[in-house]
Structure 1
């Protein structure tokens, strides 16, 4: 019975942490079947998601620091989108006034939702980490992963080498999380894989509702390639590095207390 109660509490915090991702998929689903007058679909999605973010902040579901992280990841994702669309990796075929070089501005929220989940679950489960490799190794690895998303169009794809490096760099790193009064732990690399898989599943939902299209989905929808799991696995690492580093900086700032000048 105690294990079941723990599971319910864990599931509740997971669900609450997914409010923004669920809002995105719900918006994609609704706007695919309901036409909003006077707005192109992509423009309506952007306005709705901006409204959701505002309401989450005003209601206290997200803090100001979490909004900052989400904005950073929105920019990171949008830059990647602009590049990938130009390279023909995927496309946004519908019209919209809020499209920049073929990319609707709402697309950055798809990446920001990952950061939103990470921030929320970190706070709700009072997460911590042991064996964190430090700023320099994690920053260099995260930078190399992000750069590889751009360079693999011109030079060999190093994703599998980078994946191996992830397991080497983070092999001592464990996530510590708490459900009620009990503490649990999990290898960080395993968490990367689990979250990457669920994002891949969510990506299938998004493409089904025409959030965007891969080249092989233009004639008819089909399952997103399993190879995308590795891409999301690596992208999750970037989000964790950013969130963990900001949490670390904030914890140190809090520990030092206010400056007395």
Structure 2
């Protein structure tokens, strides 16, 4: 008998216990639903949005806490708002593990994102690229500890979407090549303050390296595919939109926002796109890219 991997089905060993339960219920609800025509499209669209929402749960909860703190946290509270955000972020992370919304394997990726993100935060705040309120004690220098969880939210999304959509890739570059360009991108975030900014050169390198790559993913019955660079751009856009909400919520501010909130510059989309490359490479260290296979259509058990 061939394995689920050989048949092209998502391996439910990669799902958490709660996700396996939800998956079984979803199969019972969806089997028999239209598979073609406009109603079939609506079914696939609904499943896609539900999976995306589930993949974003960490980031969505953290963003909701940031907005709630902006609206309702008293300025004269004994507990500083930044410390409250850090405590809330820790509780969200504990809850994700306790309720089995994340696996232990994902935790390693999230820790990597914490380390990479915190290193960048310490440097960038020192250079004045952005700033945080100086309140609170749960911080390293000028960087409150909740900042690392914002990078972890990106990592959480990426590892969750990898297994929820059973991502596969055709013509994916060699991991050592992607790791090399991701390292160069990360270093450029630091070195461009002292020497020439190479982001456009690096952007061209990313385009050359990933332009042949196509992402294959599973929704319900549909097996769409998309150019990977287009997917990167789409995710970067969503992160930029979330960044606008977070800066409005006062999580951090760019220099042009200190006199009063203004939208984040669209130029930041390039930075987020390049940061996406670092994120993707970190995930591939734990979830190596897999080649596409033909999925077996869902059927009644």
TM normalised by structure 2 equals 0.81
| Residues 168 and 217, structure 2, Cα contact 8 Å, conserved in 1 | yes
CA distance in 2, matches of 1:194, 1:40: 35
What is the deviation of 1:245?
2.8
Aligned to 1:255: none
- Computing the radius of gyration over CA atoms, which structure comes out larger, 1 or 2? 2
Matches within 5 A, 1:48-197: 48-197=88-237
The reply to whether residue 208 of structure 1 matches residue 208 of structure 2 is no
CA distance in 2, matches of 1:119, 1:70: 9
CA distance in 2, matches of 1:159, 1:250: 29
CA distance in 2, matches of 1:96, 1:248: 40
Corresponding residue SS for 2:218: strand
Question: Relative contact order (alpha carbons < 8 A, sep ≥ 6): 1 or 2 greater?
Answer: 2
Q: Which of 53, 58, 67 is residue 15 of structure 1 equivalent to?
A: 53
CA distance in 2, matches of 1:5, 1:112: 31
| Residues 244 and 263, structure 2, Cα contact 8 Å, conserved in 1 | yes
The reply to whether residue 2 of structure 1 matches residue 40 of structure 2 is yes
What is the deviation of 1:249?
8.6
CA distance in 1, matches of 2:193, 2:232: 25
CA distance in 2, matches of 1:185, 1:46: 38
The size of the alignment, in residue pairs, is: 251
CA offsets, 1:162-200, max 9 Å, x none? 111111011221111101132111111111110111111
Corresponding residue SS for 1:183: coil
What is the deviation of 1:145?
0.5
What is the deviation of 1:96?
1.0
CA offsets, 1:204-256, max 9 Å, x none? 000001000111111110011111000000001111111123112999xxxxx
What is the deviation of 1:41?
0.8
Unaligned runs of 5+ in 1: 252-261
What is the deviation of 1:18?
0.8
Corresponding residue SS for 2:281: helix
CA offsets, 1:27-48, max 9 Å, x none? 1111112237531111111111
Aligned to 1:24: 62
CA offsets, 1:67-126, max 9 Å, x none? 110111011001000000000001002401012110001101111111111011111111
CA distance in 2, matches of 1:3, 1:65: 33
CA distance in 2, matches of 1:75, 1:250: 26
| Residues 83 and 138, structure 2, Cα contact 8 Å, conserved in 1 | yes
| Residues 166 and 218, structure 2, Cα contact 8 Å, conserved in 1 | yes
CA distance in 1, matches of 2:244, 2:73: 22
Corresponding residue SS for 1:175: strand
- Misfit runs of 4+, over 6 Å: none
TM normalised by structure 1 equals 0.93
Aligned to 1:236: 276
What is the deviation of 1:127?
0.9
